[in-house]
Amino acid sequence: MVAGDLVLTGLMAVLLVGVAALLTRVENWRSYTPLAGGGAVTGDETPVINREKPAGIIRWLTTVDHKDIGLLYGVYAVIALAVGGVMAMLIRIQLVVPGGAILGNNAYNSILTSHGITMLFLFGTPIIAAFANYFIPLLIGADDMAFPRINAIAFWILPPAALLIWAGFFLAPVTENMIEPARTAWTMYTPLSVEQTNPGVDLMLLGLHLSGIGATMGAVNFIATIFTERDGEVNWANLDIFSWTILTQSALILFAFPLLGSAIVMLLLDRNLQTTFFAVEGGGPLLWQHLFWFFGHPEVYILVLPPMGLVSLILPKFSGRKLFGFKFVVYSTLAIGVLSFGVWAHHMFSTGMDPRLRASFMAVSLAIAIPSAVKTFNWITTMWNGRLRLTTPMLFCIGFVSNFIIGGVTGVFLASIPVDMILHDTYYVVGHFHYIVMGAIGFAAFAGIYYWFPVFTGRMYQRTLGKAHFWLSMVGTNITFFAMLALGYLGMPRRYATYQFDGAIAPLTQVQTFHQLATVGAVILFIGQLFFVWNIVQSWLEGPKVEDGDPWNLERDGMLDREFQWFDKQLEAEEPEKDPSLLADGGQEDE
């Protein structure tokens, strides 16, 4: 356990030092880099100081500009992705051999718990907030978010949340394992999460609570912004699809995250004040599952709806035609938002609930696949007979659609009670879930990063490396998670550090082969992300400058949106004869 903790602590320390070194290269701490915040650079590349903002690192610590905060969210999410990715690689290396390759059981359980929480709460939600903060005001023609200071507070809550969630890894070596990482799995099922005396569980719960508060504050801000800050020309009929999905997501957050916060408070009280909310003689251990999954399944759509919006926005741009059935995509988004609160108990089919109640949840779980299928057919029809351009953003959108189909179909199987009773708590569930989380949400995030990279940085990325990143990610994703689906059919339980079981349960040789195949796929996927990091960092520092406000030639098909119109005005303001102070900091020019 100590060795495993020390190894992971060392890896995290190296990562944090690397991030600090990178930031010192990317940012001139003595000046204001205007492309991220609304100012400009003159033709001789001499920085023009925006006197309304402080210079240097103080700018990043005090900024309330939605674009700066969007970049902060993005950097935070990429760091969390790197930490969660390292944890995932340790898990896959551990499972190469039946007896476990590198980790003890406790270390494995700690890493498994933190991997899930990191990817869902510290990467998934913040990467969406990065795009939404930067581009929602630009897309709707607003100068900034409705509550800029609340927007900043919502972000700055997240770094302490991450430190609390990861605290056990740092504190275990210095406290002689008196405080260890949580080993509850990311679902924190009772009574296990109540009975663990480890204070690291309390720290993790407090970190989760903080992240939920930040997400709720951001949701209130997005709803207020979209309702009250739209330009006069933007109405509900022509509001872009990304804003629709963010609006729906924010409404889900308002109902889901406070419930998680309440459940976490009750769990903390059970752990520390001996209350009985989740004790057998009190509310019962199943009460936690009901409360957690009433949050947990809307959370899946909180994570996947904005990526659907990104794909619905980006895919038509490179298909040369408008999104097919725009109104039906909007209606299906709203339908998913409503239905998502009626499916939570399909995670609990094997708990022994009333069969009549179980059947009703199965029906709704099958029904919610319909609006998702509507979106899928609309994306395919948009591409049908279109003028396709296979740029890197478009490749990731197509990869999103194909992975989402596999993840969605496997989810429909799990929504069927007889199938779920066999496959529940096996690697089939892990494969299904990761096809959605990595194969869909991750791919949409990469599509957004590449599509808006010129707006973020004023430069263009290396296209060849971008396509290499896609193909490595696509191949690695499908090898890894398809192998997990096969493991589920073989009956391999999830969350096990070793699998030296009797051959009567499953053919051990085949189980080991598919675990090794999943590890090979994970290595390919990991190499692809190294291509991504190198491409983004190198291009941000040294990539060719974008001199055209329409770097994707979208105007050819009449697909130029407001954010690129704003970007074009930014480039015009960089010209020496133009006064950059005349350009507003948000989506509109001052009259």
Give the C-alpha separation, 393 to 409, whole Å.
24
pLDDT at 42 over 60: no
pLDDT at 322 over 50: yes
CA distance to 7, 10, 19, 107, 179, per residue, from 14 (Å): 11, 6, 9, 19, 22
Helix (H, G, I), strand (E, B) or coil at 526: helix
Contacts 24+ apart (CB under 8 A), 323-332: 323/241, 323/378, 323/382, 324/378, 324/381, 324/382, 325/374, 325/378, 325/381, 326/241, 328/374, 328/378, 329/241, 329/374, 329/375, 329/378, 330/241, 330/244, 331/371, 332/371, 332/372, 332/374, 332/375
Q: How confident is the model at residue 571 (pLDDT cuts 50, 70, 90)?
A: confident
User: What residues pair up with 459 in beta bridges, in sequence order?
Assistant: 545
The CA radius of gyration of the chain, in Å to the nearest whole number, is 24
Q: Could you report the per-residue pLDDT of 391-430, keeping only the tens digit for each?
A: 999 999 999 999 999 999 999 999 999 999 999 999 999 9
Give the C-alpha separation, 536 to 195, whole Å.
45
pLDDT at 568: 83
Give the range among 162-166, 293-297, 424-428, 558-562 with minimum mean pLDDT.
558-562
Q: How confident is the model at residue 266 (pLDDT cuts 50, 70, 90)?
A: very high
**Number of H-type helices and E-type strands within the chain:** 21, 0
Pair 80, 118: CB distance under 8 Å: yes
pLDDT at 18: 65
Give the C-alpha separation, 568 to 226, whole Å.
23
Give the range among 125-139, 250-264, 550-564 with minimum mean pLDDT.
550-564
| Average predicted confidence (pLDDT) for the chain | 87
Give the C-alpha separation, 580 to 575, whole Å.
9
Stretch 59-86: mean pLDDT: 93
Stretch 460-465: mean pLDDT: 93
Q: Looking at per-residue confidence, does 581 or 422 come out higher? A: 422
Give the C-alpha separation, 238 to 400, whole Å.
25
pLDDT at 5: 52
Helix (H, G, I), strand (E, B) or coil at 576: coil
Give the C-alpha separation, 560 to 554, whole Å.
5
pLDDT at 589: 42
Q: How confident is the model at residue 564 (pLDDT cuts 50, 70, 90)?
A: confident
Give the range among 182-196, 388-402, 546-560 with minimum mean pLDDT.
546-560
- Name the DSSP letter for residue 49: P
Stretch 482-498: mean pLDDT: 93
Give the C-alpha separation, 584 to 28, whole Å.
23
Q: Could you report the per-residue pLDDT of 308-319, keeping only the tens digit for each?
A: 999 999 999 999
Q: Looking at per-residue confidence, does 365 or 31 come out higher? A: 365
Give the C-alpha separation, 234 to 436, whole Å.
32
| 428 token code pair | 């089939």
